[in-house]
Structure 1
Amino acid sequence: MQSLVTAIHNPVPVEIIRDEIRKVCGVFTLEPMVKNMGLVCGDVATRRIGTFETAIVALDAKHVQRSSQSIRHDPGEHLFLLLQDEGHCRVEQNGTSSMLTPGDMFIVDSVRPSSFNYGGERSNQISVHLPRSDMLSRFGNICTGGVPIDRQDPLWLAMRAVIAKMYTAPVVSPQLSEAFLSLLGAYFQGLRGTVNVTQTLLSRALALIERHAADPFFGPRELAGRLNVSDRMLQRHFQPIGETPGHRLLGRRLELARMRLETRQPGQQADGIASIAFDCGFNDLSYFYREFRKKYGMTPGAVLRCH
């Protein structure tokens, strides 16, 4: 199966590659194939695709582990959808052991101990970082604890195709990110076989926000109307994720704006920022500047200059 990325395998001190993994994925321990050498061939790179942060981890180590002690020092905030891009890896979590070959996928839960055994062979992996709270609100506990994606399921091929599209497209649309989450939801639904009404309504609400966030006339009341529920009932369904519908919609609009700023050529910055703000659902420029700085700790202009 053709690789999606070209990873770097250069000799690096174990401490450096371990620190890079910790910065990107959390606290893990790493054991090189030869202990006394103090070197491992590999690299850790990050890349944003659509709404997802991803990591490309290349290693020829013996194994990488995340223990209960590591979790106490660094509580997990993500589920990692691990795509084996090259080489082999045995993933062990929650009593499940899966041998990953190129193309295989496994959803790793960062709050549970896990082990990744490479046997000293070169391995390249793509890790798609999925915020754990968002995944729980969409799909419930079915997505936690370590979930192998069955390669015989037709949805496996569709998910891999979407990931490949996101890695090769010049700009990843929000609809493509949402399509990937919809495929995940369909896969989990097949595992579960039953429908939780509360989770289904929240999942529909999140999908509608994703689809209509750029519409300045789309607000919480419009969302409730499309779901055929009252404003108060909609608020109750958002309580498990600790947000209001309005706050969720604002956050999505800000994410869209930041993604546009990061992928735009500078040009005339003032006009460019205003145009992006309006295109992402804001009709008040001063409000956009204030909320953007509150969320990201920098102005839209600073983000534009950095990229």
Structure 2
Amino acid sequence: MVFGGASAARHGRTSGDVCMVLPFRAKTAMDAKEAGLGFHELCDAYGRMIGHDYSDLTIEDANRVRSFSNISLPEACATLFDQGLSRFSMSDNRNGLDLVMISMPAPGSELIYEQRGICITARGGDAILHSTAERLISHSTQVGEVLAVALPRRKLMALVGPDALGHIRKLTMDDPACRLFRCYAQSLLTLENDPDFRLADRIGDQLAELAALAIGASRPGHEQIREGTALQDARFHQAQQFIKRNLTEPGLNETHVARALCISPSAVRQLFGRRGSSIGRFIREARLARAYAMLSDPTAMPRRVVDVAADCGFESMSAFYSAFRTAYGCSPTEALRKN
């Protein structure tokens, strides 16, 4: 990670008005075994990426912590650890970056972080907000998957005010804004290619806006967020993910999505309508895409077409055949025979 430099120039900025500039790259995954790295080397590699030194590591973690994936955009950074570190001391940022980090343990895990003498515990579903400008100590005892997102302090401060970022604190995922932030941050790690600069800036802005809502936006911050698209985009992504996870449910509809997102059915319809679609069309196309993938996968176990249709939530075989042929120019049986 660097401050200013070539990345800033590409965006038409100077180091004086940039609050955070990270290496602009697509998703980076590192597996210790594949890379021929030891445990300490893996931690050092991650530390160099984010500008920190790790010390006080434990031998117990050496047998668990083997990989992480990271994506850095100019003003946002997300890292997913397959297994987080239980014990460590993380130095202040060595690259001169003043960042705020939101660390989120997966269900069944917990984080116990200490900073400036304040100790915070967050169990699966909650998060810990902390600074990267000061030393952080971990006392965690039950650590699994951890998602960590770093954002510029100055950018967040403009939305929440300085007092909200003054000390380490817990954020609860009972808050819909926190859940939206986590969902949107996870989607960042699914990017397969370099996003263009405009998209990268938009993602950074939207993560900051969602984080501000989770932390507690000031009145001016709320007004700025209302005028943007972060909430709508994050909710749309959350709706898509919920639908894809529940395609096997034959009666899946806007009511189920609305209940999961804690919004009204009409708000769900608006999410898809603003994008020139409908929730019914999205569900149908997602089911067809899943069915096609299952039928055309030569490595899959032999499946009957009727079973595939049921697994994808189709209640009528005639409707399934008709929609499949319209979408792919062949019948489900013909797609299966091509394997």
Query: Given the two structures, how large is their TM-score scaled by the length of structure 1?
Result: 0.49
Higher strand share: 1
**Larger CA Rg, structure 1 vs 2:** 2
